[in-house]
Amino acid sequence: MKLPCITILATLLLTVPAAAQLQITPPATVPSPPAEKQKPKPPPAAKKKEAAPAPKPSASPKPAASPKPALPATVIPAPPSDTPGVDLVFGAYQRGQYKTAFDLATARAATGDPKAMTMLGELYSNAMGIRRDYAKAVEWYKRAADAGDREAMFALAMMRISGRGGPVDKGEAVKLMASAAKLGEPKAAYNLALLYLDSQTLPQDVKRSAELLRQAADAGLPEAQYALATFYKEGTGVPKDPERAVRLLQAASLADNVDAEVEYAIAMFNGTGTPKNQPAAVALLRKASRQGSAIAQNRLAWVLINGMGVPVDKIEGFKWHLVAKTSGKGDPDLDKQLSDLPAEDRAKAEAAAKKWLGTK
């Protein structure tokens, strides 16, 4: 069986909380073991890959052989416990009253409450209401992890991987992730799945990776749903199952995962693993295009220019082609068609693209 080639970069953004998660482009079936920051919004909920054009060929897109993903992170602080005092801590955190959250968490932590300890780790790690101090963040995360808090285990694992608050220790990070995943932490399961694809930190094991992705996907983590969909589409670590892949893409799309929106739109456009529904596919491509997906913008350009599933709209279509091109998603065929467009219409398309991009 062909194994995917995945590179996981362990470097984390300096300004993101330790409860962040790595991001990958889900693996392609290519043998060769490889050597947008948002303000935190609790509670938990869980951020390419190239796809073959939907309107041109009908084949489903396949990921690049050696993706080099960026590592934007999504902050998901630990959920509130049933302890009223801790609820007050999270209430202050949610309102952005970080100094109040710090004071309340400090008092709660003194009573031995692990959730309050985890919150202190978050605040110290991200300079919220207090000066950033990775060493203190690690100290509080460790105390909470030792007390059995799964969020703290995962956060501490990410600190160990990044070498913040101490030396890099991937061995300890793996143990912490495994413990957190066993306790049902979906972000830990997802990131551990990535490490089983890495073949650097752990031996490559696509079946174990698929199991962990399934655990995280079942818990509702959109990134895991998207990655697992690719596993089922390609037959990586699981039997190939296009229908199940589409169901997972649909679930991730409903959670606004842009990559999944593009894949799901292409599946609906081509009728791959789901009944063909071109109007719905085009609507989803529009949404993903507005969210900045260059792949979606390119596919939308094709369907609008050629009237596939929608009325022909060359000016709007070429607008999206030009917008996608600025993101590195060029298309020689569309360039040729643009050059053949009447000068007046070409000028309108260029003006529309500049307006969208905010340039003169």
pLDDT digits (tens, 9 = 90+) for 119-146: 999 999 999 999 999 999 999 999 999 9
86 pLDDT above the threshold of 60: no
pLDDT of 296? 97
162 pLDDT above the threshold of 60: yes
263 pLDDT above the threshold of 80: yes
Mean pLDDT of the residues in the chain: 82
Rounded average pLDDT over 261-281: 96
**pLDDT class of 85 with cuts at 50, 70, 90:** low
Rounded average pLDDT over 69-89: 48
pLDDT of 359? 79
Q: What is the pTM of this model?
A: 0.75
117 pLDDT above the threshold of 90: yes
d(CA 308, CA 340): 20
pLDDT above 70 covers a percentage of the chain that reads 76
70 pLDDT above the threshold of 90: no
